């Protein structure tokens, strides 16, 4: 990442234009990041997390990260001195309808100090109950695996197998499979699915139709894309658009 600087972990809401973002920085406090509208990604040297409206991203204090918006995005942030989740690495959290309303209300800053204190306490309770869900796309570090992954990042619809990609970059299937486990912590098919889901969320936020997104991201059919999306995010891509 480029040179970083410290920013205050503020609580509030700010609009970000499509394609805009916040360059690499870090906070001395923990932060909850939530896109009330649009889709937001948080990236570190280790990888990226992406958050539709059903996810929030936990960013621990001291983590160098950057934000990128897809579609017109409303960025809601909550700065926290305490660590209610006991997590020392970024993570994507499920946002229930109640937690969403708590975050929106709290970050808009309305109400007396007493009311905000009560909102804060309930919000922390809800955060503690929020399960983690993987929207994480790890960054490969080995140059051989990075070359294979870059092919798919350039074209998520590329359906070549790991042995076929290995032939292109000059690495064996066994080597690449081993690197997936050690470098990425997941199998190659799992990483490819995460990549496609990240790309799909971006395209949906930019206004593309569900069928177009399914084909652009490499799913064999629209129904297969909808099923995978629903299992990952708890709702259909059409519901996300609505």
pLDDT tens digit string along 128-149?
Answer: 999 888 789 999 999 999 999 9
- CA dist 154 and 9 (Å) reads 33
Angle between helices 188-205 and 143-154 (to 10 degrees): 40
Q: What is the pLDDT of residues 147-191, one digit of tens each?
A: 999 999 999 999 999 999 999 999 999 999 999 999 999 999 999
**What kind of fold does domain 5-136 have according to CATH?**
Jelly Rolls (2.60.120)
Domain definitions of the chain by residue range: 5-136, 140-241
- CA dist 129 and 212 (Å) reads 36
- CA dist 94 and 205 (Å) reads 19
At residue 42, the 3 state secondary structure works out as strand
> Taking 80 as the threshold, does the pLDDT of residue 3 lie above it?
no
Which among 48, 51, 18, 15 has a CA at the least distance from the CA of 32? 51
Q: Are 5-136 and 140-241 in the same CATH fold? A: no
* pLDDT of 52: 87
* pLDDT of 145: 96
At residue 63, the 3 state secondary structure works out as coil
* pLDDT of 79: 95
H-type alpha helices, the chain: 97-108, 113-129, 143-154, 162-169, 173-179, 188-205, 210-216, 222-233, 237-241
Which pLDDT band, with edges at 50, 70 and 90, does 242 fall under?
A: very low
Burial class (CB in 10 A: 0-12, 13-18, 19+), 30: buried
pTM above 0.85, yes or no: yes
Higher pLDDT, 197 or 85: 197
- CA dist 48 and 199 (Å) reads 12
What class, spelled out in words, does domain 140-241 have in CATH? mainly alpha
Q: What mean pLDDT value characterizes the chain?
A: 92
């Amino acid at each position: 990442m480029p040179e970083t600087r410290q920013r205050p972990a503020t609580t509030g809401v700010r609009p970000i234009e499509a394609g805009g973002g916040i360059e690499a920085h870090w906070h001395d406090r923990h932060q909850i990041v939530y896109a009330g509208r649009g889709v937001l990604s948080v990236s570190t040297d280790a990888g990226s997390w992406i958050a539709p409206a059903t996810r929030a991203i936990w960013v621990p204090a001291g983590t160098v990260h950057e934000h990128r918006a897809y579609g017109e995005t409303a960025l809601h942030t909550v700065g926290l001195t305490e660590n209610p989740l006991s997590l020392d690495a970024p993570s994507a959290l499920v946002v229930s309808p109640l937690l969403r309303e708590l975050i929106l209300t709290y970050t808009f800053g309305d109400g007396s100090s007493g009311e905000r204190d009560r909102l804060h306490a309930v919000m922390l309770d809800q955060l503690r109950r929020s399960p983690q869900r993987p929207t994480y796309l790890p960054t490969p570090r080995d140059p051989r695996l990075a070359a294979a992954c870059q092919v798919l990042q350039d074209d998520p619809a590329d359906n070549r197998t790991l042995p076929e990609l290995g032939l292109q970059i000059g690495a064996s299937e066994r080597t690449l499979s081993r690197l997936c486990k050690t470098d990425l912590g997941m199998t190659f098919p799992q990483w490819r699915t995460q990549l496609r889901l990240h790309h799909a969320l971006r395209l949906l936020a930019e206004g593309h139709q569900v069928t177009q997104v399914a084909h652009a991201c490499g799913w064999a059919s629209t129904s297969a894309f909808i099923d995978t999306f629903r299992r990952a995010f708890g709702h259909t891509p059409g519901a996300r658009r609505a």
